[in-house]
Amino acid sequence: MKYYIVDAFTDELFRGNPAGVCLLEKELPDQIMQKIAYENNLAETAFLLKKENTYYLRWFTPEVEIDLCGHATLATAFVVMNYVEPGLMNLDFETQSGKLSVERANDWYTMNFPARMPVETKINPLLEEALGCRVLETYLSRDLLVLAESEKVVENLEVNSNKLADISKDIAFAVIVTAKGTSCDFVSRFFAPNAGVSEDPVTGSAHSTLIPFWSRRLGKTNMTAKQLSPRGGILICEDLGERVNISGKAICYLEGDIVLY
């Protein structure tokens, strides 16, 4: 099968978040897709299968399949619009999270995702020790959202992955640490140690929670966000109520073939 690695939420190589994109010619057993994702050893590997006129999209970390992934969706849309159907400007994917649409405007790709407003929850007393920072508030959706004091605090986190895995394993897929930004509207970092991802460089799906959260706090619907991992990335965000728009750029790092005998 054709295989690509695309750096998402950036237009510079070796920045943003790399995702694998596999173009399937036929259905594969789940266990084979999981083994491929493990072999690729990227935060996400996307598997795309076209049946008639419909694209079906699934996402796997090295250890588990997940229900929603932003950077691998952006990477897949980039591959389809540049290599599979060049010139295509609009695209729909059928996924575990329903229909996801992507629209292209020049070098920007805008994904329409479901909003996941988090609900306030009690702070785990061990969380500050695991993150190495003061925790102001915590909220829960698919992920545990942790509110920190400042952009500088988020940037300088000293995370104990083992402790964070123990705290989050029974309550959330991952942990988002966020704060109001000084260089943008809000910043974040994303950790999913129980899914084989110690830190995800730029996480589109986390912004399904971050966008409605910060939209209400800041009193605005259009925002710019940064993820402060070492690779870093920029996301243009829009709160639409029950949906959100997440926009970013992408660049192809690798094009090749996966050979299964």
Which residues are identified as catalytic? Answer: 44
Q: Distance between CA 225 and CA 144 in Å, rounded?
A: 18
